[in-house]
Structure 1
């Protein structure tokens, strides 16, 4: 008897999954709960087990295909009757499966061959095409100066002859013939070595003026050499990458958030010198437990205290009901950059965890995020997000809200800054760090956002106070 296993709902808001790798082949015998396929969703990489034991009859999808949730993923023969014919991808899903990922770009198409202008019979530099007319801000061409008017090459051979290789408009060439001026002997002052009407008129005037025997000739601008024509070959074919999975979800979420919530960003500098001292003292103790202690667990603890005192920052907006929802849990999303895009696993109940527990969970989720091993349990339910930009530097940023939240905190690189010491009346070096808090101005007003950041600053600058406030 055939059993069609359909792609299950593998996460909140997930509508499809991309086949990364099959862990079984057609004809294989599988047991119940045996891993059969690795699927990438817009949130995480998920390994799906077989719901039943049996023989694999058909794998209608290949690696790289996108399978909608609810469509047949594979067919099993679980015994008890004749197996039904295996479905094909066209019959299984309404949308046509996406083509497999191409690992190498397609061969570039040859560019159309552009015929070069005919060279004159005499041996001379080829005529150079005039520069393009500049475009204004609206994309239309600016009014051409006089020397660029009627800039087509004349078909009359008399326009060339002794003037070939000289950049000049037909009207300028005509004027030179009328005045008896040889263009090859005219000093060009126009753009790109172009001979202008004024150059021709000046040459004609100098030709008529009597020679000055005593006075030396006035220095003139050196003639600009004509610019050689450049043959442009076919442009390299650009690489393309399908927008899917985590990157697609990130793009859609950022657009939705940016065009829905009016963002306001508040930036502040925090003196981290005392916290550096505390971390330096605690780090060996944490290392003895096989972990490293970064500044992020301290920031999370200080932030949880801040959010409890400023509930508007740990809220969301119910548009349908036109209500502000104040959350009583403190689930912090931690943005992690991966080769596959930005992903945001969640530290659930961050206010209930100590520094060591936070350090352990952060290390675990960051590692699994980069290896695409996060599960759906690692996502969902976040009430506030932290994005750490310290490793790449920067002074400030304007983070975009995670959809469904009203605030996000960006933390930046630490640096040594000179600060005035009133007691010593000198500048002293201090460890400082900037933070950028973006919030939804529909829910959080500027005063609330600013006082929230100032409270966070107070806690981080005074670690002893932060320890007292920890719960």
Structure 2
């Protein structure tokens, strides 16, 4: 037998290391050529590592969350026949080693699967102890409360109602109220040492014999340690770097989208086989039409070189929530797409993001970003800039409210939406941001302008 050492290849320009985000094999597994071994995450994307040979896995480089340097050993495979490569090394076992291994496996069945081999190769994975243990497993339930005085006389010889009521602790006001309501205080539950008005209220709300419970203190969940790895770690690093390096400011304005929503409904009613329009493609059209007058917003700032690049094309980042965390795929050349093309591309990129199938080029090169929480949008947001961009736009939830028409005291029903924009104050002035949002507001409140030449 011979062994093949699969080293982590160069999987991106300027990438020095990658993080293990998932293993698809374990020590002892049989693998075939082109079978997926592991998922590795770089700053750009998640890449599947496929086996170039068939054989049995004998070593793997660390645990999920470890970093592996480019060129370091990732997996060692015992191949069925000699492979013509410099990476094949003979590794015969001595009889003593074999006997020791057999004895260990016999005495510790299943250990190999539960405890994979340590990292291989110098300069490879940076060792990290896997966590994920749950603390508090030995927590015990709180002791039962002492019996309530109303339980006195329970058993084969219960006390008469009057006597049971006297055994219940309650203030004269509570007793008088219970008497007026015809309530037997012995039937009223309490989580304290005496019946109070709140206990009477709960009894009246839920009724006798309805299994009502007096609200008690919430039980704490067990502590849990969750290792920050993969996409969640990238998000944490990027957001921290953005807030450290960029002096953010946020401007919020209210936009009347009544006519825009009416037009969107009309377009959807006659869309045929085209995708259903949300507000997002219409907003993107408005963004692309107004940006040429505000080139300082469609830009990237290289703070190390001290250079701001103002882009002519709009490569729009679209913040997308996935099970793994927030990703920002990029709609390339958004200014050249109509609303239907944008809707199609939005759906394609969102599906690819949630399936972790985005290509590296679909995750880089953005010049401005839009982030939306959809129906959860809230009153206003203060989005964090996607560095090295200098601006991010956040539409918020649409709400219906009465507004004055401007003709005396006439009032009409309107659909209103707050729009937030966060900017890098090093390169964007507050006046510029406010002026841009006003231009965006005029276009969204007169939506025919979206389709005007």
TM-score bucket (shorter structure): 0.5 to 0.7
CA distance in 2, matches of 1:341, 1:252: 13
Q: Tell me: CA distance 1:273–1:65, structure 2 relative to 1, closer, same or farther (3 Å).
A: closer
Equivalent residue in structure 1 for 2:256, among 266, 271, 274: 271
SS of corresponding position for 1:283 = helix
**Cα deviations by residue, 1:278-322 (Å, 9 ceiling, x for unpaired):** 111111444623x22111001111111222220000112232332
SS of corresponding position for 1:91 = coil
Structure 2 residue aligned with 1:16: 18
Equivalent residue in structure 2 for 1:288, among 262, 273, 281: 273
Structure 2 residue aligned with 1:254: 239
Question: 2:62, 2:127 within 8 Å by CA — same for their partners in 1?
Answer: no
**Cα deviations by residue, 1:171-207 (Å, 9 ceiling, x for unpaired):** xxxxxxxxxxxxxxxxxxxxxxxxxxxxxxxxxxxxx
Task: Give the count of matched residue pairs.
Answer: 345
Question: 1:331, 1:381 within 8 Å by CA — same for their partners in 2?
Answer: yes
CA distance in 1, matches of 2:410, 2:256: 17
CA distance in 2, matches of 1:18, 1:238: 26
Structure 2 residue aligned with 1:129: none
Q: Tell me: CA distance 1:319–1:57, structure 2 relative to 1, closer, same or farther (3 Å).
A: same
Question: 1:90, 1:96 within 8 Å by CA — same for their partners in 2?
Answer: no
Offset at residue 389 of structure 1 (A): 2.3
* Structure with max Cα Rg: 1
2:368 matches 1:384: yes
2:110 matches 1:105: no
Q: Tell me: CA distance 1:2–1:23, structure 2 relative to 1, closer, same or farther (3 Å).
A: closer
Q: Tell me: CA distance 1:401–1:292, structure 2 relative to 1, closer, same or farther (3 Å).
A: same
Offset at residue 88 of structure 1 (A): 5.7
Equivalent residue in structure 1 for 2:331, among 347, 357, 362: 347
Structure 2 residue aligned with 1:131: none
Question: 1:19, 1:61 within 8 Å by CA — same for their partners in 2?
Answer: no
Cα RMSD after superposing both structures? 3.2
CA distance in 2, matches of 1:274, 1:287: 22
Question: 2:396, 2:418 within 8 Å by CA — same for their partners in 1?
Answer: yes
SS of corresponding position for 1:400 = coil
Question: 2:242, 2:386 within 8 Å by CA — same for their partners in 1?
Answer: yes
Equivalent residue in structure 2 for 1:84, among 80, 84, 89: 89
Question: 2:21, 2:229 within 8 Å by CA — same for their partners in 1?
Answer: no
Q: Which moved more, 1:11-20 or 1:412-421?
A: 11-20
Question: 1:22, 1:63 within 8 Å by CA — same for their partners in 2?
Answer: no
2:423 matches 1:422: no
Q: 1:20-31 alignment to 2 at 5 Å?
A: 20-22=22-24, 26-31=29-34
CA distance in 1, matches of 2:379, 2:223: 33
Q: Tell me: CA distance 1:35–1:425, structure 2 relative to 1, closer, same or farther (3 Å).
A: same
Offset at residue 397 of structure 1 (A): 1.5
Q: Which moved more, 1:369-378 or 1:58-67?
A: 58-67
TM-score (norm 2): 0.68
Question: 2:6, 2:74 within 8 Å by CA — same for their partners in 1?
Answer: yes
Question: 2:136, 2:223 within 8 Å by CA — same for their partners in 1?
Answer: no
Q: 1:392-471 alignment to 2 at 5 Å?
A: 392-423=376-407, 425-469=409-453
Q: Which moved more, 1:61-70 or 1:324-333?
A: 61-70
Q: Tell me: CA distance 1:101–1:339, structure 2 relative to 1, closer, same or farther (3 Å).
A: farther
Offset at residue 100 of structure 1 (A): 4.6
CA distance in 2, matches of 1:374, 1:101: 29
CA distance in 1, matches of 2:302, 2:41: 30
Structure 2 residue aligned with 1:148: none
Q: Which moved more, 1:249-258 or 1:365-374?
A: 365-374
Offset at residue 276 of structure 1 (A): 0.9
Q: Tell me: CA distance 1:332–1:81, structure 2 relative to 1, closer, same or farther (3 Å).
A: closer
CA distance in 1, matches of 2:33, 2:234: 33
CA distance in 2, matches of 1:59, 1:305: 56
Q: Tell me: CA distance 1:35–1:377, structure 2 relative to 1, closer, same or farther (3 Å).
A: farther
CA distance in 2, matches of 1:237, 1:452: 49
Q: 1:329-340 alignment to 2 at 5 Å?
A: 329-340=313-324
Q: 1:173-322 alignment to 2 at 5 Å?
A: 237-286=222-271, 288-289=273-274, 291-322=275-306
Offset at residue 69 of structure 1 (A): 3.6
CA distance in 2, matches of 1:424, 1:88: 78
Q: Structure 2 unaligned segments of length 5 or more: list them.
A: 92-116, 141-192, 194-218
Offset at residue 106 of structure 1 (A): 4.3
Question: 1:7, 1:67 within 8 Å by CA — same for their partners in 2?
Answer: no
Q: Structure 1 unaligned segments of length 5 or more: list them.
A: 112-224, 226-233
CA distance in 2, matches of 1:431, 1:448: 26
Structure 1 residue aligned with 2:50: 49
Q: Tell me: CA distance 1:330–1:13, structure 2 relative to 1, closer, same or farther (3 Å).
A: farther
Offset at residue 2 of structure 1 (A): 5.5
CA distance in 2, matches of 1:6, 1:285: 55
TM-score (norm 1): 0.65
CA distance in 2, matches of 1:270, 1:367: 30
